[in-house]
């Protein structure tokens, strides 16, 4: 693994009323824009979700986040990526890639999943390295080493707190989106020598990163 990223500084928490008003302002757009790297909301730990939104507003927010994620397109979206500083993320991966690629990357389908206040920890010592991109850092991808298996604890929209294991690509998605909620971008953890512009990434779009390692020297 690369060295831990510096811990971002938390901003002063917003009141429940301020959070609710801000969410309504974001939801006023049919499809809110995804904020890009450089926006402060991406560099501050998000506030825990503790019922700041009523059930209807939370449902509308989750539906909007899912639509934004699909439209991007992406396989995960954290609330700060649409400017909302709450520990909320949505995930979904249809897994519609070539079977050989899916096997090499341990990428099964991941059903729509909502994470409220997620935390994760490595489960076992194995790590996996592959290219990641980010909807808030458009135009580039870089290799990130992450634990292959994790155990995540999070709350579901119905209020139940669960602990679940994830491995392979689903584990990578959970880690990437949870990092967003901590004010961390994938580039903070990346092997920067692997950085590849989308215009050049076709060279390294292989089931594994072996060719990229040889070509870029990382």
9 confidence band (pLDDT: 50, 70, 90): low
Q: Is residue 11 assigned to a domain?
A: no
Q: What is the CATH number of the domain that holds 73?
A: 3.90.45.10
Q: Is residue 3 assigned to a domain?
A: no
Q: Is residue 5 assigned to a domain?
A: no
- 70 marked as part of a ligand binding site: no
- 134 marked as part of a ligand binding site: yes
> Does the pLDDT at position 6 exceed 60?
no
Average pLDDT over residues 96-119: 91
Q: What pLDDT sits at residue 10?
A: 64
- Which one of the listed residues 145, 177, 200, 211 is annotated catalytic? 177
Q: What pLDDT sits at residue 2?
A: 39
Q: Is residue 6 assigned to a domain?
A: no
- 202 marked as part of a ligand binding site: no
Tokens 């050989």 correspond to what residue? 100
φ, ψ dihedrals at 193, nearest 5°: -65, -20
Q: Is residue 77 assigned to a domain?
A: yes
The span from the CA of 182 to the CA of 175, in Å, is 11
Q: Please tell me the least confidently modeled range out of 4-8, 12-16, 116-120.
A: 4-8
- Catalytic residue check, 177: yes
Percentage, residues of the chain above pLDDT 70: 95
> Under 8 Å CB-to-CB from 87, ≥6 apart: which residues?
46, 47, 48, 49, 79, 116, 117, 118, 181
Q: Is residue 127 assigned to a domain?
A: yes
> Under 8 Å CB-to-CB from 134, ≥6 apart: which residues?
37, 176, 185, 186, 187
Mean pLDDT, rounded, of the chain: 94
Q: Please tell me the least confidently modeled range out of 15-29, 52-66, 99-113, 175-189.
A: 99-113
User: How many Cα atoms are found within 13 Å in the side-chain-facing hemisphere of 107?
Assistant: 18
Domain that includes residue 149, residue range: 16-216
Q: Please tell me the least confidently modeled range out of 22-26, 94-98, 189-193.
A: 94-98
Helix (H) or strand (E) holding 117: strand 110-122
Q: Is residue 2 assigned to a domain?
A: no
Q: Is residue 83 assigned to a domain?
A: yes
> Does the pLDDT at position 1 exceed 50?
no
Q: What share of the chain is helix, strand, coil (3-state, %, to 5)?
A: 30, 30, 40
Q: What pLDDT sits at residue 87?
A: 98
Domain count along the chain:
1
Average pLDDT over residues 129-133: 97
């Amino acid at each position: 693994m690369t060295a831990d990223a510096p811990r971002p500084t938390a901003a002063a928490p917003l009141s429940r009323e301020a959070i609710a008003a801000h969410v309504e302002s974001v939801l006023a757009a049919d499809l809110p824009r995804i904020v890009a790297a450089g926006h402060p909301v991406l560099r501050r730990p998000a506030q825990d979700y503790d019922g700041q939104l009523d059930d209807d507003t939370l449902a509308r927010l989750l539906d909007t986040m899912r639509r934004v994620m699909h439209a991007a397109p992406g396989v995960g979206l954290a609330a700060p990526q649409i400017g909302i500083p709450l520990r909320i993320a949505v995930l979904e991966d249809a897994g519609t890639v070539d079977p050989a690629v899916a096997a090499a990357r341990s990428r099964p389908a991941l059903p729509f999943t909502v994470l409220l206040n997620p935390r994760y920890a490595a489960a076992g010592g194995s790590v996996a390295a592959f290219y990641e991109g980010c909807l808030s850092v458009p135009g580039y991808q870089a290799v990130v080493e992450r634990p292959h298996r994790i155990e995540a604890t999070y709350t579901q929209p119905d209020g139940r707190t669960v602990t679940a294991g994830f491995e392979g690509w689903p584990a990578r998605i959970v880690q990437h989106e949870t990092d967003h909620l901590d004010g961390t971008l994938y580039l903070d953890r990346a092997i920067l020598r692997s950085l590849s512009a989308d215009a050049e990434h076709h060279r390294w779009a292989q089931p594994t990163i072996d060719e990229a390692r040889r070509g870029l020297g990382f």
